[in-house]
Amino acid sequence: MNEVRMKNNQANCFIKPFAINRRRFLYTASASLAYAVLGAYGADLVNRKPRRVGLIGAGWYGKSDLWRLIQVAPVEVVSICDPDKKLLAGAVEMASQRQESKRSPRAYTDYREMLKEKDLDIVLVGSPDHWHALHGIAAIEAGADVYLQKPTSADVLEGEAILAAARKHGRVVQVGTQRKSTPHLIEVKKQIVDAGLLGKIGHVDMCCYYPMRANGNPPVEPVPEFFDYDLWTGPAPLRPFDGMPHVRWWRTFMEYGNGIMGDMCVHTLDTVRWMLGLGWPTRISSFGGIFVQKEGKSNISDTQTATFEYPGLSVVWQHRTWGNPPDPDYPWALFIHGEKGVLKASTMRADFIPNDSKAQTLHFECLFEREQFPEDLKEKDIELNAAPATRRHMLDFLAAIDHRSRPIADIEQGHISTASCILANLAMKVGRPVAYDARKRELVGDAKANALLRRNYRRPWKHPAP
């Protein structure tokens, strides 16, 4: 069997650097995005007045998104918000060093105080999942376009509410499902899926076997004075404080999110839907629980399978936070099975393996931009493989703002992917399949399960769904 290796760092066209206010910005794009996103628009950015930007959530990925935006466009970081004053001060200092003006952004612990200024063109939402919808809606109502980290919501009706707000106010909302802007996956979609090399597609497997479920038993302790735990918790239940939750500890509790289903499946399901042109599943079922890792405080499932049904197609997710992955090269991945072969794809690589032993296999490698953006190598906790995708995702977001158009990861698509994963958890909880009617915003023929579409909010916070 012959193999053709597609090295995206060679196949991509590189756009010549522009000088903007004495700072060197390098715009790179995959062949399929270069024309659609940059083109004349890239030249447009050269003399553009910097957009005014605010960040809500100054943790790991909030800052990562902000630094990627600064790398690709002239912006002025006006304000940063986080209920952790130490984290906030560090982000403000880093922003002042990275932006051209060298000004220090205003610092806020309460997002409402930040947004009431109504002086922001763009708001990046990088807060924990239980805040995404409220922060996003508030930013939209303050007149900003929004880059919203996935998932779009913590319950289904929150997602409906942020979608409605975006449409009502005419704001652009780009969801951080940046696989749609990942160079090698764009090529995979074009060269394998769209080209018909798979033939008739009848099944998709998705998986995550990362040992990412925190499972400790830290003791309850006093809340440090620099951290507003009540404000950080917001509408979620107020758990006994057992350490700084925003250092990824929150992800292990259903009070704040939807477990690995809502964290990792949302990416792969969104990618599958994009590649295959899928909308809402017709029916969703799921089974799982805490089967192995029972010793810690964590209440998210350590083992779960979910099936998303489409006409003539089943899309199946499985995660385990223990044991080893069946395919060590693809621990978090999707596998599209067609009559002519199988496509394996992840954030790091992709392989097309045809059924015909005489046909060529195709291998795709992740694009890194270490030479083009050497500052990436010095950034703490950066995902080097994801940085090129996020830069392209930001460029697509900016182009949509300029043209008042829908971005590639528009809020509606992010909502479908998010809500589908939330519904899988709901199906697991009630022990039966569910079918969601997006027009009526209800589960078909299941009045009892409908009550689970909306989470109970802690007072005085109010759920945004009508």
Domains of the chain: 13-178+387-410 (3.40.50.720), 181-371+415-453 (3.30.360.10)
Residue 148 and residue 414: Cα distance in Å, rounded? 9
φ, ψ of residue 122 to 5 degrees: the values are: -135, 140
pLDDT at 68: 97
Find out whether 23 and 76 touch, Cβ atoms under 8 Å: no
Phi-psi region of 415 (alpha: psi -120 to 50; beta: other; left: phi over 0): alpha
Written as six digits, the tokens of 182 are 């990942």
Is the previous residue joined to 151 through a cis bond, with omega within 30 degrees of 0? yes
Q: Cα torsion at 276, 278, 284, 289 (round to 10°)? A: 50
Residue with tokens 């499902």: 177
CA 379-385-386 angle, to 5 degrees, is 80
Question: Which of 335, 376, 111, 86 is CA-nearest to residue 208?
Answer: 335
Is the previous residue joined to 74 through a cis bond, with omega within 30 degrees of 0? no
Written as six digits, the tokens of 389 are 């995708």
CA distances from 73 to 3, 124, 134, 204 (A): 39, 14, 27, 37
pLDDT at 29: 32
pLDDT at 236: 98
**pTM for the model:** 0.92
Amino acid at 417: S
pLDDT at 13: 30
pLDDT at 94: 95
Find out whether 180 and 415 touch, Cβ atoms under 8 Å: no
Question: Which of 289, 318, 320, 322 is CA-nearest to residue 306?
Answer: 318
Per-residue pLDDT of the chain (466 residues; tens, 9 = 90+): 555 665 444 333 322 232 233 233 333 333 333 333 445 555 566 567 899 999 999 999 999 999 999 999 999 999 999 999 999 999 999 999 999 999 999 999 999 999 999 999 999 999 999 999 999 999 999 999 999 999 999 999 999 999 999 999 999 999 999 999 999 999 999 999 999 999 999 999 999 999 999 989 999 999 999 999 999 999 999 999 999 998 889 999 999 999 999 999 999 999 999 999 999 999 999 999 999 999 999 999 999 999 999 999 999 999 999 999 999 999 999 999 999 999 999 999 999 999 998 889 999 999 999 999 999 999 988 999 999 999 999 999 999 999 999 999 999 999 999 999 999 999 999 999 999 999 999 999 999 999 999 999 999 999 999 8
**Alpha-helix runs per DSSP H in 108-208:** 111-115, 132-141, 156-169, 183-188
Give the pairing type, strands 442-443 and 106-108: unpaired
φ, ψ of residue 67 to 5 degrees: the values are: -65, -35
Residue 49 and residue 75: Cα distance in Å, rounded? 8
pLDDT at 18: 29
pLDDT at 3: 58
3-class state of residue 218 by DSSP? coil
Surface-to-core class of residue 258, CB atoms within 10 Å of its CB (0-12 exposed, 13-18 middle, 19+ buried): buried
CA distances from 196 to 41, 190, 313, 351 (A): 32, 9, 16, 15
Written as six digits, the tokens of 331 are 């621990």
